[in-house]
């Protein structure tokens, strides 16, 4: 019997968010799991739409999105709830395994791999082809 945590049967959505110190958030998901994500590497030094989030006072203005299911900031920046769930729980995203998505990222969005490594996701060598 495999008791390892697994991806939920319903798409993970964020039910509550609470800002913590140092660019971290406590997230409560629709399956009851609660996890903490450190987003410092995702927002500091990114520039563009992420620039306002580098101010911790602004970062702390995070809220549930008006469209539901994820988080957002007043400037409209939002983050994928699937990625946040994986980051908060350590459970890999099943549809990102097997290479389809990863192969597309490697070929079409090379900067995404660098961003993902800096954000704490596995390096390219650990992704299936």
Instruction: Report the candidate in 35, 30, 33 with the shortest Cα–Cα distance to residue 15.
Output: 30
Summarised one tens digit per residue, pLDDT across range 5-20 is 789 989 999 999 999 9
Residue 29 carries which DSSP code? Answer: E
95 neighbors 16 (Cβ within 8 angstroms): no
For residues 85 and 124, give the distance between their C-alpha atoms in angstroms, rounded to a whole number.
20
Domains and CATH numbers, the chain: 12-91 (3.30.2020.10), 93-129 (no CATH)
Which residues fall within 8 angstroms of residue 96, CB to CB, at 6 or more apart?
102
Residue with tokens 């390892």: 4
73 neighbors 61 (Cβ within 8 angstroms): yes
Summarised one tens digit per residue, pLDDT across range 73-88 is 999 999 999 999 999 9
Q: How confident is the model at residue 113 (pLDDT cuts 50, 70, 90)?
A: low
Q: Quote the pLDDT of residue 52.
A: 96
């Amino acid at each position: 019997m495999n008791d390892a945590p697994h991806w939920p049967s319903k798409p993970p959505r964020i039910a509550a968010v609470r800002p913590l110190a140092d660019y971290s958030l406590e997230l409560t998901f629709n399956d009851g799991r609660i996890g903490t994500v450190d987003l410092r590497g995702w927002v500091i030094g990114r520039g563009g739409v992420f620039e306002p989030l580098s101010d911790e006072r602004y970062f702390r203005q995070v809220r549930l999105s008006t469209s539901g299911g994820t988080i957002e900031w007043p400037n409209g920046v939002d983050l994928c709830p699937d990625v946040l769930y994986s980051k908060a729980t350590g459970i890999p995203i099943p549809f990102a395994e097997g290479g389809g998505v990863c192969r597309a990222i490697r070929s079409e969005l090379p900067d995404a791999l660098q961003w993902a490594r800096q954000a704490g996701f596995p390096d390219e060598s650990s992704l299936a082809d």
